[in-house]
Structure 1
Amino acid sequence: MTLVEQKVDVRSDRLKQQPVSGPFRNRLKELDALRGIAAISVMLFHYTSIYPDFFPEHRNIGVRFDAGGYGVFLFFGISGFVISRTLENTAGIADFTIKRVARLFPAYWAAVLITTLVVQWSGTERLQAEFETVLINLTMLQGFFFVPSVDGVYWTLTVELAFYICAALAWTARRRVRIEYLLAGWMAVGAIASVSEIAPYRVQMLLVNQYSPFFAIGVLTYRAWSAQRRYLDQLPYFAMALAILGFNGGAAFLIAGVGIQVMLWLAINGRLSAITHPILLYLGALSYPLYLIHHHAGFVLLRAIDRAQIGPFAGVIVTSATMLGLAALLHHGIEAPAERAIRTWWLRRLSPQPV
């Protein structure tokens, strides 16, 4: 048996011996379903509330689904939970970075190119981007360079990247300082920086600005779910997160924070098993490519449908179905196979060569 095979066997035995609690606990299907719900909610919010603002000259369904915009904050909370688990199952910062690149970039690159081509082909000047802007967007760092995004929804990717940096730094310090203390300091410094403006704006962006409490709620919930802390012990930190949300974002952020905390609590306690329907789980798998592709490309299709004299209600249905189909193609054709290929390549680099 080669050293690689021995390593795989040891890893397999380790997983079999893991208790039901801890970082190797089974995946929470409820989170996948919540991702699917969040993605659909955000898409409908954009088609019913944002599209009329972009193109007031076109017909719209006349009903605004503003509540769907909170789906973005739910994504942040889920990300706090998931990234905590990912870091605890990583071999180091390089391992974490490669896994995040494999997860995020292939589908993102495809979405940037598709969106650019669709917008250019349609001649929708309001949505077009310069060639240099597209190139910078391919790095996913356009927010830090203050360069416009190719698609309006990409602003959240800047927030996610900043959280990954903060989470990785916290992970490296976890043996010296308790995660909860780090979260409290992170949220406090971010809140002070946002209000006082004593730090440059790029520093505020790296601190995740006013969105850090959403991620913190996810991290705190993960710590309770993995049996590293009792949920009751986390209540003071939950209270701090909610207080900062209310202070920075007002009632809307506070309500969103409470709602996310409640949903994650229900999920880790098995109270959301009713939503783990295969359809919602599949939508959860499509949530990232759907989020990336639905906005500008969807607006172009909505305009084309309106010019064809098709009713706006049917336009939203047709556009939503089309974007779901495109997201499925991106997921099965690019996102999943590319992630597998990159992870396989990286695992081979980490594994010792056969003797």
Structure 2
Amino acid sequence: MRRETELDAVRGIAALIVMFFHFWLIIPDEWKSHAYITHMAGISITPEILFHFTPLRLLVSGSGAVGLFFVLSGYVLSLSVARQRMASYGRFVIRRIFRIYLPFVVVILFSASLLPLVKTAPLHGVSQWFANEPWSVYPTEQVIMGHLMMIGTVPLVSLDSPIWSLIIEMRVSLIFPILFILMEKYRSETLTGVVAAYFFSNIFLNRLGENPPTTFMHSILFTFEYLPLFVVGILFYQFREQIRGFYGSTWPVIRNIALPLAVLLLGTPTIGPENAVGIMKNLIWIVCTIVGSCAVICIALHNEKISLYLQKSHMQGLGHISYSLYLSHMVVLLVMAYTLLHHMSLWEWGMLALPTCCVVAMVCFWLVESPCMKAGYWLTRRRYLKPGLVG
């Protein structure tokens, strides 16, 4: 099985969308609701309408991009587990720890060290969310340990708010080989269990109004609300040949119209399970995210023109730094906001912040992420005896 590098580029695009989403959240609410374009066909058009109810929604669909991340992880990890069937569970987990957790630790400690130095005055001219939520808790020893232990409750993601999804990714990684085997041997029973766990956690947490969770046990339940997305990735792997054949033999109208329209479902104008918006809305979100994510993967792998474009060097470069970009961009935005927003406009700051986030992500990749991955592979490499020593 070849490494499907197209999906690396897809992951990079999803990381960019998450960053754009946080840029969107930083903009003050009154700016979003101001009618810059008025009375077009009798309708007052605002940025909020454009980025909420049109295809532009995809550019700032953070929850859809995170859902795509989870489906991609299910598919790519299935490739990895299938390729290394004789590898031990411990080997798989060690590599995931070095791949996800160690860069996570570095960025959290970096954020905790910068907060007392940089946050010297309140932010003005930004949204209430950005002024009050990120860096809302002083990094005491207890707070830092809560982040490093991946507790996942509301105050213990404040040092780097996107880490709530990385906590879910790490937890699912710990059970993924078992989940993969269960899906191979007892697919129907496993799917039934996953769906039951989803509905139980969804109903329970929404009744409490606790999405995002406020206790560790509720945080564990919160993980089950995203488990179906990983399972869909496994299913896509298991039926990959059938999907490839279907794509090649299906009508052009499906390939050229239906699948691109399905991608738009990732921008469904609602909120994912990370906010308590209701059981039915969460269900609609996860169904739309599943369909949209599968359409993205199918197009990336089987549309020849798009596949070739995703394999170009600049797209592969974006894919390589995708995790570092996702992990570090909020810390960069916070540092730049507290140091520069008192001296320049929000728009000037935004034009500077975007390339800065990408540059920092590249530095983070080369100095942190890549060495961690190499260390994980070195630690779990297979050792062979020299032929002269055998016997």
Q: Which residue of 2 aligns with 1:37?
A: 13
Change (3 A) 1:226 1:86: farther
2:24 aligned partner: 48
Distance 1:173 1:352 in 2: 34
Distance 2:100 2:183 in 1: 25
DSSP-derived class of the 2:3 partner = coil
- Determine what percentage of the aligned residue pairs are the same residue: 24
- Whether the aligned pair in 2 keeps the contact of 1:115 and 1:150 (CA below 8 Å) is yes
Q: Could you state the TM-score of these two structures normalised by the residue count of structure 1?
A: 0.75
Closer/same/farther in 2, CA of residues 327 and 202 from structure 1, 3 Å limit = same
- Residue 288 of structure 1 is matched in structure 2 by 323
Matched, 1:319 2:353: yes
Whether the 8 Å contact between 2:152 and 2:167 is mirrored in structure 1 is: yes
Question: SS where residue 239 of structure 2 aligns?
Answer: helix
Query: Match for 2:180 among 151, 171, 192?
Result: 171
Task: Give the counterpart letter for 1:283 in structure 2.
Answer: L
Give the deviation of 1:175 after TM superposition.
6.0
Structure 1 residues 103 and 43, CA gap change in structure 2 (3 angstroms): same
Structure 2 SS opposite 1:294:
helix
Q: How far apart are the structure 2 equivalents of 1:290 and 1:182? A: 34
Deviation at 1:87, TM superposition (A): 1.8
Partner-residue secondary structure (3-state), 1:129: coil
Give yes or no for contact 1:33–1:281 (8 Å, CA) kept in 2. Answer: yes
Distance in 2 between residues matched to 1:161 and 1:121, nearest whole Å: 30
Aligned AA (2:239): A
Look up the match of 2:197: 189
Letter in 2 for 1:302: A
Distance 1:225 1:314 in 2: 46
Q: How many pairs were matched up? A: 312
Superposed displacement of residue 344, structure 1: 1.2
Q: Which residue of 2 aligns with 1:117?
A: 113
Deviation at 1:269, TM superposition (A): 2.0
Distance 1:227 1:68 in 2: 30
- Residue 28 of structure 1 aligns to a residue whose secondary structure is coil
CA distance in 2, matches of 1:92, 1:297: 38
2:291 aligned partner: 258
Counterpart of 1:158, as a letter, is: I
SS across alignment from 1:208: helix
1:223-260 Cα offsets, whole Å, 9 max, x none, are 2226699879xxxxxxxxx9xx9846154443333211
Q: Could you say which residue in structure 1 is the equivalent of 2:142?
A: 132
CA offset digits 1:197-222 (Å, max 9, x no partner): 69x97377257332223222222212
SS of alignment partner, residue 226 of structure 2: helix
Does 1:73 pair with 2:94?
no
CA shift, 1:288, in A, is 0.6
Q: Are the aligned partners of 1:102 and 1:338 in contact in 2 as well (CA < 8 Å)?
A: yes
The structural deviation recorded for 1:282 is: 0.8
Say if 2:82 is the partner of 1:88: yes
Q: 1:154 to 1:203 in 2, by over 3 A?
A: same
SS in 2 for 1:150: coil
**CA deviation string 1:49-101 (max 9, x = no partner):** 24647xx9xxxx99566633121111111111111112223312111101101
SS at match of 1:142: coil
Q: Matches of 1:49 and 1:181 in 2, distance apart?
A: 41
Residue 282 (structure 2) aligns with: 249
- Say whether 1:98 aligns with 2:131: no
Q: Is the 8 A contact 2:333 2:353 kept in 1?
A: yes
1:163 touches 1:207 (CA, 8 Å); kept in 2?
no
Distance 1:135 1:205, change over 3 A: closer
Structure 1 residue 117 displacement after superposition: 2.2
Q: What is the distance in 1 between the residues matched to 2:232 and 2:320? A: 23
Q: Which range moves more in the overlay, 185-194 or 30-39?
A: 185-194
Contact 1:133 1:149 survives alignment (8 Å): no
1:158 and 2:167 are equivalent in the alignment: yes
Instruction: Say if 2:151 and 2:219, in contact at 8 Å, map to a contact too.
Output: no
TM-score (norm 2): 0.69
| Change in CA separation of 1:120 and 1:227 when aligned onto 2, cut-off 3 Å | farther
Aligned 8 A contact 1:81 1:218 in 2:
yes
Q: CA RMSD in A?
A: 3.6
Return the alpha-carbon distance in structure 2 between the equivalents of residues 281 and 131 of structure 1: 39
Do 2:321 and 2:362's aligned partners in 1 also have CA atoms closer than 8 Å?
yes
State the secondary structure of the residue aligned to 1:79: helix
Kept in 1, the 8 Å contact 2:6–2:300? The answer is yes
Long gaps (5+) in structure 1: 1-24, 233-241
| DSSP-derived class of the 2:230 partner | helix
Cα pair distance change 1:251/1:342, threshold 3 Å: closer
Do the aligned residues in 2 keep the contact of 1:186 with 1:207 (CA within 8 Å)? no
Q: 1:173 to 1:68 in 2, by over 3 A?
A: closer
Looking at structure 1, the residues matched to 231 and 347 of structure 2 have their Cα atoms a distance apart, in angstroms, of: 38
Partner Cα distance (1:133, 1:296) in 2: 16
Name the SS for the 2:225 alignment partner: helix
